[in-house]
Amino acid sequence: MSQHVAEITHRSVSVPGGRIHVAEQGSGPLVLLVHGFPESWYSWRRQLPALAQAGYRVAALDVRGYGRSSKPAAEDSYRMLALVEDNVALVRALGEESAVIIGHDWGSNIAATSALLHPEVFRAVGLLSVPYAPPGGPRPTGIFAQMGGEQEFYVSYFQEPGRAEAEMEPDVRGWLAGFYAALSAETMPGPNAPDPHFVSPGATLRDRFPSGRLPSWLAEDDLEVYAGEFERTGMTGALNRYRNMDRDWKDLADFNGAPIKQPALFIGGSLDASTTWMADAINAYPATLPGLVSSHLLDGCGHWIQQERPEEVNQLLTEWLTALPIE
């Protein structure tokens, strides 16, 4: 389907948890795009026009705590159940009964949980970079504490209130540039370099970031957009997602081991730690994602998959969306 589409429009809509900012483009069946850390709706800037051109109404949101969306003060306001309810309320606020939901990074987890808890609203789910792993298993903080030996896993580092903020907020732009470069295929540290997902004793995460150049997908103007948002909002709202993982583990206990049955899509990067560390989750898809339509691993691609490889990702998303049953 090809059609002329209007430019991206922005608005904020009221949901029970506050207000959610969305960037919208196109008309047709609703597709909700959910970003990860440390990003914003802007991470989908190359998908909005492509999916709108293909005949969809595309809405990319700022997740609670990010960008122009509400930023509650309480840490537990960022638990997964709250973010799922934001998505459900957003679909209703946009005047729709159902939507396809697609997420990247933390957005993949949020999209997956939204589909798991509300199959009546989310008729299909697309997961980018982070595979689906059903709720359950050991307590998350216990797992992360055991990773890396003397080194500290970045998730544990992020979980202590104020600690990561003290590293990031004095130079948001520089920190983001390094973090984006560290997980991009063309600028990530080599296999013999210290892993940027871990922190040495007494050091900071940034000590392991590459410096000197931005990945080609990230223009200076793009970096300014990201940095400008976090300089305005601070980093706490975004980091609070990591600080709720044990709460999520308790909240979702009734869904331990539960599969997502709706039509699903997975796209990962072969050089992304998310896909290598979670290879067992991908191998378990026949049981955990029985509705999986297709799974793709993009060779030589890093973590920021829809920005590193927009044409390939747009084609895969469009083909998958087009093949979904019409509602």
**Residues recognised as catalytic:** 105, 303
* Distance (Å) of CA 311 to CA 51, 97, 305, 308: 11, 30, 10, 9
CA distance 229 to 67: 6
Order of strands across the sheet with 99-104?
9-15, 18-25, 57-61, 30-34, 99-104, 122-128, 264-269, 292-298
Q: Rg (Cα) of the chain, in Å, rounded?
A: 19
Is residue 311 within 8 A of residue 304, CB to CB? The reply is no
- Torsion sign across C-alpha atoms 276, 124, 16, 232: positive
Give the three-class secondary structure for 13. strand
Nearest-angstrom CA–CA distance, 95 and 90:
9
How far apart, in whole angstroms, are the C-alpha atoms of residue 69 and residue 18? 8
Residue 157 token pair = 């580092």
Instruction: State yes or no: cis peptide before 38, omega within 30 of 0.
Output: yes
